[in-house]
Amino acid sequence: MREKHIEGVSFMSQEAHKHDEQAGAIASAGILVRCQRHLREFWRRCSVPLEPMTARRRGRVIASLVILLCVLYLGYRLYDGTNDAAELHHGTIEETVPAVTVTLPTAVPPTETITLPGNIVGWYEAPIYARVTGYVKMWYKDYGDHVKAGDLLAEISTPDLDAEYRQTKANLKSVRARYKLAEVTAKRLIALRPTSAVSEQSITVEEQHMKTQAALVKAAEQKVKNIEAFIGFKKILAPFDGVVVQRNINVGDLVSKEGNLSNPNGISNLYTVAVIDKLRLFVNVPERFAPFLHPGLTVDVTVPQLPDRHFTFSFLTIARHFGLSTRTATTVFTIDNEDHALWPGSYAQVQITAPVDRQAFTMPYTALVFQEGGAQVAVLTEDDRVHYKRITISKLDNQIIEVEEGLSASDRIIDNPSNALLEGDKVRVVTPASGEDLLNTRESASPPSEPSATR
């Protein structure tokens, strides 16, 4: 009904406008005819030979000129008023149609960039614990010291183990003595076997007793070797070439195979040695992004301690499994750290750019419309009528919205649509004022201008 009413008003206005134009044209034609007649009469009189002009005749000429000028002035005013009326009528018709500004969606490149947190660790990192219980006798390597494989890091005093070692060696001597006695006894009885002076039962018992003592000797010898092996753990050695990144002991601390028992914050390892010539970077990548990671991919990394320096890490591997709690896949990147600028344990901001197969567009946030059906945009049809389309938003970035579904490259989006615009309303497109087009302003090199005062 609203459309029919607007169309009827428009038709009647157009008919009235045509009638006014015809009437104005007829009036203008009549005035021009009369002006031409007066001009011919004026020139005819001027062509007559000059004669002495009486005062009465001079007055008639002047009156004729005044009348002619008045007629010309009235004709001009009538013509100008007709044009003003036509322009006013045309402007009134235009004001009945709402004015809108439009913007075109911008296609997103077929790559996606995401910034994720990451942890930098050494190529190898070995937390070192004690294998024996005792007290720290002395430590020799401190934080940041470079070590070689087998270098002495610390020594542990083990009075209990030393006492047990001495007891084990004494027990070995006792077992060996009993074996010697059993061996001598068995050999004597075996020598008497041909004379039948000793029963065969006694000889067999002594032979087995000698073998039993021999086995006890071997057990005692092995126990001594075991304790000697533990005594070797009194010295804490570096497992490989690297750098000491942790030292959690001091002289006199009680330590055991569980760690440092003197630490008030809980049991901890004695040392940690790491290889920092080459580093690993661990990143948890969301499931939507993970399938696009592949060998040869590089990422840009920054760390808080070196904010102006960018590091390039290379893709190493991905877990090919998503955690049930986070829905992310553990991904590993590597870098050669020959200058040791990066340290293990650093927090990293990882910017990953990978090819993504998707059709997405960006638009200014001012074009977004929220209705009962969710997020929508108002677009123009070919005949400049309003049509609302549902969209799916994938990312919010300052003044720009990234739309994953619902837009096409040819859509003309109404920027900052009025709440009075309804589906199917007729509108007219106007050029936005300077600074109104947020999407183009953001892409330009110059900073955004202030909004127009008419907005």
pLDDT in tens, 48-71: 454 455 666 667 767 777 777 777
DSSP state of 431: P
Q: Which residue in 186, 241, 243, 234 sits closest to 213, CA to CA? A: 186
Long-range contacts of 81-90 (CB under 8 A, 24+ apart): 82/20, 82/21, 82/24, 82/28, 85/20, 86/17, 86/20, 86/21, 89/13, 89/16, 89/17, 89/20, 90/17
Dist CA 61 CA 65 (whole Å)? 6
Amino acid at 296: G
Dist CA 212 CA 290 (whole Å)? 66
pLDDT band at 18 (very low <50, low <70, confident <90, very high): low
Per-residue pLDDT, 428: 85
Q: Which residue in 382, 384, 364, 383 sits closest to 430, CA to CA? A: 384
Does the pLDDT at position 406 exceed 90?
no
Query: Which residue's entry shows tokens 């109404």?
Result: 414
Q: Are 283 and 314 in contact (CB under 8 A)?
A: no
The CATH H-level (homologous superfamily) assignment of domain 275-355 is: Efflux pump adaptor protein, beta barrel domain (2.40.30.170)
For residue 147, what are the CA distances in angstroms to 142, 150, 232, 308? 10, 8, 19, 31
Topology classification of domain 359-443: 2.40.420
Dist CA 178 CA 184 (whole Å)? 10
Dist CA 378 CA 103 (whole Å)? 11
What ranges do the domains of the chain cover?
2-96, 128-156+237-272, 159-233, 275-355, 359-443
For residue 427, give every residue at least 6 positions away whose Cβ sits within 8 Å of its Cβ, in sequence order, or none: 97, 98, 99, 100, 380, 384, 385, 386, 414, 421
Q: Are 159 and 258 in contact (CB under 8 A)?
A: no
Fold: same for 159-233 and 359-443 = no
Q: Which residue in 154, 132, 131 sits closest to 141, CA to CA? A: 154
User: Tokens standing for 115?
Assistant: 């910034």
Average pLDDT rounded to a whole number, residues 148-153:
95
Per-residue pLDDT, 41: 62
Average pLDDT rounded to a whole number, residues 329-352:
94
| Terminal CA-CA length for the chain | 30
**More confident of the two residues 35 and 143:** 143
Per-residue pLDDT, 294: 86
Q: Are 85 and 236 in contact (CB under 8 A)?
A: no
Average pLDDT rounded to a whole number, residues 85-106:
72
% of the chain beyond a pLDDT of 90: 42
Written out in words, the top-level CATH class of the domain with range 128-156+237-272 is: mainly beta
For domain 159-233, give the CATH number. 1.10.287
User: Tokens standing for 49?
Assistant: 């030979």
pLDDT band at 291 (very low <50, low <70, confident <90, very high): confident
Q: Which residue in 444, 438, 440 sits closest to 364, CA to CA? A: 438
